[in-house]
């Protein structure tokens, strides 16, 4: 079965890069938005009988990018294509369980919708929690951008006595993996979040960062509340330079400015979410996994 790539409007550059790396044709699709915000998708070529690698990240505006993904997947599956969705940033992954009574497990609903739209396989990058993969009834794989972030840090960051910090327990496994590959000391902060207000408090216990450079590593920086609180704490404790590294730099609203004002020297993200801080390319990470499925 012939394989082709279709790039959604949220990931045109990433789709082009994957097309080049995998030496696969990139299909042309027209995207239109009506004055009321509705999206329209028009195909110029048929995909019947093909395996389609559909590349569409779901960063903000999240629901718009999801609807485009559903439209694309449904049309192609209806034409008889096998749809493999590459969703570099998978929205709603943090809503993978019921934290408070009455909350909807949104990721479980998204899993159902993707399958109903005709998606037969998913590849994502650094999903928030590996446990959430169980919510999917179709094959799903989460590739890791940590080695690529480590490579960037080694090549581009000039640091003194570096220490790798996890801003909370949830980030500890990937941060420890980063520290192992980087070859630096690892430590973790303690965080408390009010589930109703969203307010974050971070604590430091027996951690000496005086005159040291700190690399805070996390999977997602959204509003930046956790990393901001961590940076302020570490600066007060005497940290020299503070770097914030993550896979998905959403940086909602004025998050970037708030992080800088908290003492963060540089924010480093990947192109799962394209922006000015997307300094690490995950194309090869994704391509490497996709190659294993065709070998």
| Residues annotated as part of the active site | 191
Paired tokens of 92: 């709603």
- The closest alpha carbon to 3, from 21, 18, 20, 25, belongs to 25
- The closest alpha carbon to 80, from 112, 118, 54, belongs to 118
133 to 70, 126, 180, 289: CA distances (angstroms): 20, 11, 25, 17
| Beta bridge mates, 119 | 83
Residue with tokens 């109703």: 196
Q: Which residues contact 103 (CB under 8 A, 6 or more apart)?
A: 95
- The closest alpha carbon to 292, from 91, 143, 180, belongs to 143
End-to-end CA gap in the chain: 13
| Beta bridge mates, 244 | 216, 267
CA distance 72 to 23: 22
Paired tokens of 198: 């969203």
Long-range CB contacts (within 8 A, 24+) of 25-34:
27/52, 29/72, 31/68
Is 169 in a helix, a strand, or coil? Answer: helix
């Amino acid at each position: 079965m012939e394989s082709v790539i279709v790039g959604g409007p949220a990931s045109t550059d990433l789709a082009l890069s994957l097309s080049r790396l995998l030496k696969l044709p990139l299909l042309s699709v027209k995207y239109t938005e009506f004055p009321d915000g509705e999206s329209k998708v028009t195909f110029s070529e048929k995909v019947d009988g093909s395996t389609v690698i559909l590349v569409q990240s779901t960063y903000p505006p999240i629901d718009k990018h999801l609807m485009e993904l559903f439209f694309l997947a449904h049309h192609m599956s209806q034409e008889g294509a096998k749809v493999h969705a590459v969703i570099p940033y998978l929205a709603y992954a943090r809503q993978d369980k019921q934290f408070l009574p009455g909350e909807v497990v949104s990721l479980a609903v998204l899993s159902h919708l993707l399958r109903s739209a005709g998606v037969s396989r998913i590849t994502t990058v650094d999903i928030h929690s590996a446990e959430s993969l169980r919510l999917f009834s179709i094959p799903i794989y989460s590739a890791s951008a940590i080695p690529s972030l480590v490579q960037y840090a080694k090549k581009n960051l000039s640091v003194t006595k570096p220490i790798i910090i996890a801003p909370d327990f949830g980030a500890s496994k990937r941060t420890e993996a980063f520290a192992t590959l980087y070859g630096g000391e690892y430590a973790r902060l303690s965080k408390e979040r009010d589930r109703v207000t969203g307010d974050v408090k971070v604590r430091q216990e027996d951690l000496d960062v005086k005159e040291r450079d700190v690399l805070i590593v996390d999977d997602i920086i959204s509003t930046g509340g956790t990393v901001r609180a961590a940076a302020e704490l570490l600066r007060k404790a005497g940290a020299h330079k503070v770097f914030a590294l993550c896979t998905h730099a959403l940086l909602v609203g004025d998050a970037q400015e708030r992080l800088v004002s908290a003492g963060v020297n540089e924010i480093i993200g990947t192109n799962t979410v394209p922006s000015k801080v997307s300094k690490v390319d995950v194309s090869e990470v994704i391509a490497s996994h996709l190659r294993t499925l065709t070998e």
